[in-house]
Amino acid sequence: MKVLVACEYSGRVREAFRKLGHDAWSCDLLPAEDDSPYHYQGDVMAIINDGWDLMIAHPPCTHLAVSGARWFKDKRQEQEDALDFVVGLLSANIPMIALENPISVISSRIRKPDQIIQPWQFGHGETKATCLWLKNLPKLEPTNVVEGRENRVHRMPPGPDRWKERSRTFQGIADAMAQQWGGILAKEGTHEDH
Ligand SMILES: C[S@@+](CC[C@H](N)C(=O)[O-])C[C@H]1O[C@@H](n2cnc3c(N)ncnc32)[C@H](O)[C@@H]1O
């Protein structure tokens, strides 16, 4: 399956899919943290029509997340631009799409998410409500519910890389996406082959 992981510098979701044999690529304005050759550095809109089967998108939440609401009034244009970017991703001509963001104005301005997941449902003892907007994909099933409920993000020291530490996809969630969504087309293909 041809998988585009849009707005990903960490390579976590890309590598989870590649380990299962998919032709997965990440794309970000930033270079890949792991120097992978399977990374396109540039605007995702330049490659969004290149025949992908599945796209998982992690657009920036800076001007969308409800946690930053106190800045919204000074950042109207930035918020409109961020919403336009989300609309562009969600309306891409790709059969299966998942778009991920924290609790954000996407819910009130575009539509409500299909589900809200937490890292503690996927093996990480942390809270971080993560919304998923889905097209032709089933809801992600929890893989490993653990006891811990720490809010690590609030304890992170300020610094230039704090946003990166906060936004890197949790490994357990990346693995669940690849395991649960990577099989969909393969299973359908198997039926067609018979
Ligand atoms: C919230 S971070 C997502 C990080 C991701 N979860 C990961 O593990 O790498 C959003 C990313 O979107 C990227 N980005 C913003 N606009 C973009 C665009 N037009 N095309 C591709 N990437 C973009 C930013 O550089 C940033 O790294």
Q: Which atom of ligand 1 is nearest to the CA of 10?
A: 9
Give the distance (Å) from ligand 1 centre to CA of residue 28: 5
Tell me the Ramachandran region of residue 52: left when phi exceeds 0, alpha when psi lies from -120 to 50, beta otherwise. Answer: beta
Count the neighbouring beta carbons within 10 Å of the beta carbon of residue 179. Answer: 16
Q: Whole-model pTM? A: 0.93
Task: Tell me the mean pLDDT per 10 residues along the chain, length 194.
Answer: 98 98 98 98 98 98 89 90 98 98 96 98 96 98 93 74 86 98 62 37
* Residue 10 in contact with ligand 1 by CB distance below 6 A: yes
Give the distance (Å) from ligand 1 centre to CA of residue 121: 24
* Cβ pair 173, 179 in contact under 8 A: no
As a whole number of angstroms, the distance between CA 112 and CA 109 comes to: 9
* Residue 39 in contact with ligand 1 by CB distance below 6 A: no
Give the distance (Å) from ligand 1 centre to CA of residue 100: 11
Write down the pLDDT at residue 185: 55
* Residue 63 in contact with ligand 1 by CB distance below 6 A: no
